[in-house]
């Protein structure tokens, strides 16, 4: 069953077009990583799934219903980012007891164990937490709510390295015990890679990749050798990333090659290596094929 369906979804803020004709389907019980640069439209998409924003055009279905102003979607979805606005009059224990009241699947024992592990004093106000601590608390809320659709929008902002690792591990372990649909957004794939089942990359408001992580590992191949030779075999439009190591020696990342193309390149002396998913996701979301080096190029 698909939990989320987006058909031709566009969103504009004034004259700024944030999402363009987006088509996405997310299946039940999966962990999907939503990867994109700042301003790619990740948050807008996730807020629309949580019913916080309405699309300018197109159709969004969550649990086969329109998420806007929908009690059922709200009861089965939690949206967590580093910027949740809690009442300044509530202490952490009150926030936790409210969550228990609202979410039927809330596991208060699990929440309390996480609260103790991460060293929270529950008698303090959320406003008084540091940035990283606030993110950690929000993430605990998202985990313990165990809603059928759990949305984390850049949840690890401000967390230090070890807390991030702990969070990803807790997420994966809890997901295995209680399978549900989880979407987690990040501008980096690096640390997320090991827990994801599916990856979705958005760039300039459109979805450019959406496939299982296993397939993504073989999505592209890196070629290293004489650029003129590479150019003979591989069409310019298929190049994802290009970096010149010397004047004619280049490192080029291209989308999947056919068997004959691979043989041909081998004969021309071009080395072929696999590309790490994290590296590939960075190249895919880059604005230009050459990266920052293009800025320094004198033409």
Partner 1 sequence: MSLNSPSLKSTVIKQSKYKWMSYKSAFQSLIVVQIISILFTLLGAASGTSSFGLLQLHITYSTGDVILFFTFIWAFFTGLSIDRKENRLADQIFVTNQVSRHLANIVFLILINLVGMVTLVMAGFAIKLIIFWYKGPDQFLLLSSYSTSELLLVLGMVFLYLTLLSSIGYAIGSIVRLSKVVKVVVITTGVALVFLGDERVGQIISFYGSESSIVWFIGKVLVSSFLAFGLAYAIARQSEVRS
Distance CA 12, CA 32 (A): 25
- Which of 15, 16, 38, 69 binds partner 1 (CB under 8 A)? It is 69
Q: By CB under 8 A, which span of 51-59, 214-222, 243-251, 258-266 interacts with partner 1?
A: 51-59
Q: By CB under 8 A, which span of 44-52, 109-117, 193-201, 277-285 interacts with partner 1?
A: 44-52
DSSP annotation string for 148-169? SEEEEESTTTT--HHHHHHHHH
State residue 133 phi and psi, 5-degree precision.
Answer: -65, -40
For the CB of residue 78, give the shortest distance to partner 1 in the complex, in Å: 8
For the CB of residue 68, give the shortest distance to partner 1 in the complex, in Å: 8
- Which of 54, 66, 248, 249 binds partner 1 (CB under 8 A)? It is 54
Tell me, residue by residue from 251 to 280, as one string, x for binding to partner 1 by CB under 8 A and - for no binding: ------------------------------
| Residues between 76 and 95 with contacts to partner 1, criterion CB under 8 A | 76, 84-90, 94
- Which of 105, 224, 262, 272 binds partner 1 (CB under 8 A)? It is 105
Q: Does 75 bind partner 1 (CB under 8 A)?
A: yes
Q: Does 120 bind partner 1 (CB under 8 A)?
A: no
The first and second tokens of residue 26, run together, are: 């997310």
| Residues between 194 and 253 with contacts to partner 1, criterion CB under 8 A | none
- Which of 66, 160, 169, 179 binds partner 1 (CB under 8 A)? It is 179
Whichever of 146 and 242 has its CB closer to partner 1, that residue is 146
Q: Does 30 bind partner 1 (CB under 8 A)?
A: no
Query: Torsion angle, CA of 188/194/196/200, rounded to 10 degrees?
Result: 30
Q: Does 55 bind partner 1 (CB under 8 A)?
A: no
- Which of 101, 176, 292, 295 binds partner 1 (CB under 8 A)? It is 101
Give every CB contact of residue 225 below 8 A, 6+ residues apart in sequence. 249, 250, 265, 268, 269, 270, 271
Neighbours of 6 (CB within 10 A): 22
Give every CB contact of residue 123 below 8 A, 6+ residues apart in sequence. 91, 92, 93
Give every CB contact of residue 170 below 8 A, 6+ residues apart in sequence. 114, 143
Q: By CB under 8 A, which span of 156-164, 178-186, 233-241, 264-272 interacts with partner 1?
A: 178-186
Nearest to 171 by CA among 145, 195, 155: 195
Cα 6 to chain centroid, rounded? 16
Tell the residue number behind the tokens 């300044």, with chain if given.
88
Give every CB contact of residue 250 below 8 A, 6+ residues apart in sequence. 223, 224, 225, 226, 227, 230, 242, 243, 244
Interface ranges with partner 1 (CB under 8 A): 29, 47, 51-54, 63, 68-72, 74-76, 84-90, 94, 97-99, 101-105, 141, 146, 148, 178-180
């Amino acid at each position: 069953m698909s939990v989320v369906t987006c058909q031709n979804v566009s969103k504009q803020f004034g004259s700024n077009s944030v999402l363009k004709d987006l088509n996405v389907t997310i299946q039940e019980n999966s962990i999907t990583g939503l990867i994109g640069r700042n301003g790619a439209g990740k948050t807008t998409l996730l807020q629309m799934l949580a019913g916080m924003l309405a699309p300018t055009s197109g159709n969004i279905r969550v649990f086969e219903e329109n998420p806007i102003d929908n009690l059922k979607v709200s009861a089965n979805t939690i949206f967590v980012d580093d910027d949740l606005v809690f009442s300044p009059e509530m202490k952490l224990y009150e926030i936790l007891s409210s969550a228990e009241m609202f979410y039927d699947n809330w596991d208060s024992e699990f929440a309390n164990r996480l609260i103790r592990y991460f060293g929270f004093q529950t008698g303090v106000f959320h406003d008084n937490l540091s940035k990283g601590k606030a993110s950690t608390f929000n993430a605990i809320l998202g985990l313990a709510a165990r809603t059928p659709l759990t949305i984390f929008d850049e949840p690890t902002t401000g967390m230090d390295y070890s807390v991030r690792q702990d969070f990803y591990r807790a997420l994966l372990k809890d997901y295995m015990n209680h399978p549900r649909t989880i979407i987690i957004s990040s501008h980096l794939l690096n640390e997320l890679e090991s827990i994801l089942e599916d990856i979705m990359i958005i760039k300039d408001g459109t979805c450019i990749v959406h496939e299982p992580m296993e397939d993504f590992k073989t999505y592209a191949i890196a070629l290293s050798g004489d650029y003129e030779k590479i150019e003979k075999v591989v069409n310019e439009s298929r190049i994802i990333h290009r970096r010149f190591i010397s004047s004619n020696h280049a490192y080029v990342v291209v989308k999947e090659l056919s068997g004959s193309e691979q043989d041909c390149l081998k004969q021309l002396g071009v080395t072929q290596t696999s590309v790490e998913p994290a590296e590939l996701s960075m190249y895919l979301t880059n604005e230009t094929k050459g990266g920052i080096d293009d800025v320094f190029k004198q033409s």
